[in-house]
Structure 1
């Protein structure tokens, strides 16, 4: 189906990782498809700490090339990388539904940044096995890895929030060229539906051409991130009724998931358990 890059124009503002964790877990539970999640950050991201819990053991300098994205880099450089091999280096989150490709364990950022010349081969191989790849990339447009991943992505998810400075910077300044060329959707993280800067008002103010979705603020989800119990949170909330505090969060997240599939040109009825 495609490769989806989760990106923001400003560092540390929009909750890229949290938004991706939320929608990836929901997709894994509600869509009958093989989904891979990964990231291109040098330091270990919240993906590992959230999903691997205590299993995310430290890797020493000798072993790093046998784990996650570093292992696939080694295989890519030796022309031994193939789609079926990618799965061998991924951690299972939801059996046959959701897997995590760990980020780098290299001892310094300079060593990791050299991966940019094979990163497209790595995620290209992943496309050959997984139906959907969600990749959390660094913010801005000056990172070589970010640019390499976005160049081969089918959809870019632009992460914003309701901070007026963030909104003005994104909508009123010249946007990156790739957003003029790539299919993209906008998602507002930590969304407050009672704010003056609602989706309706943001659309009225800036008239964006891309669809806008939200990941509402949800105390239960934020606690689950801290407690490393995200999968358990979604299992508990999958079938909650309209009167439950978390119903709005789940409803909006389902809209985002569907919007990502549609942006990728996929009929959600084919893969959704609910036929949505």
Structure 2
């Protein structure tokens, strides 16, 4: 005999994975009147009078319970199934930054050489540059250790090596000049000896000839030997001062240039 009954929970959706909910539903089934009537029906004499388990019995009441349990399998939420799943936002793949193409810089030629610019400075324009250089202890130390002439009669400050070269040149030129004087002294001595041997003094003409030759050779030595060697040494010293960054200092034999250089040297001497 199939007994139909209705439980309030059957009209409600239930999650079949909810074990607590299913257990509560089974307890309600066992305590219902329909369940009690189904259990009270006579059974076969050979079968023990035990309450069949709902999931194992093949009787009609068991079938009703199984039918009730089948109703617990709720249909999946169509709203969830029909709704297209939102695509998982994918992180952008890390891109290797492109190496920028560097164009090699070609150094442009300066419009004017700095050393050339310093040559055209006036003495007034050179003063700020000298003031900046005065803070360089190496320059001051170098200037303290040198002494040389920019012109024939001007003493300048210069590196000690140049000072030694100047001293060596002065000594050599002095010895060469002294040799010329000694040569003519010997000539005068020989002339006087010859004159005394013949019982007469040196003639005025001979004395004038020896004196003229002597002064001519000395003048030639001073202009061609001494001044040329001295100018060469001064040019080397001018270049050395120019490399120290001192303005207006460059190799030149022009009187106006050397006059400006002399003023610069006087300022440098005031820093010492």
Q: TM-score with structure 2 length normalisation? A: 0.20
Looking at both structures, which has the greater relative contact order when contacts are Cα pairs under 8 Å and sequence separation is at least 6? Answer: 1
Q: TM-score with structure 1 length normalisation? A: 0.19
Higher strand share: 1
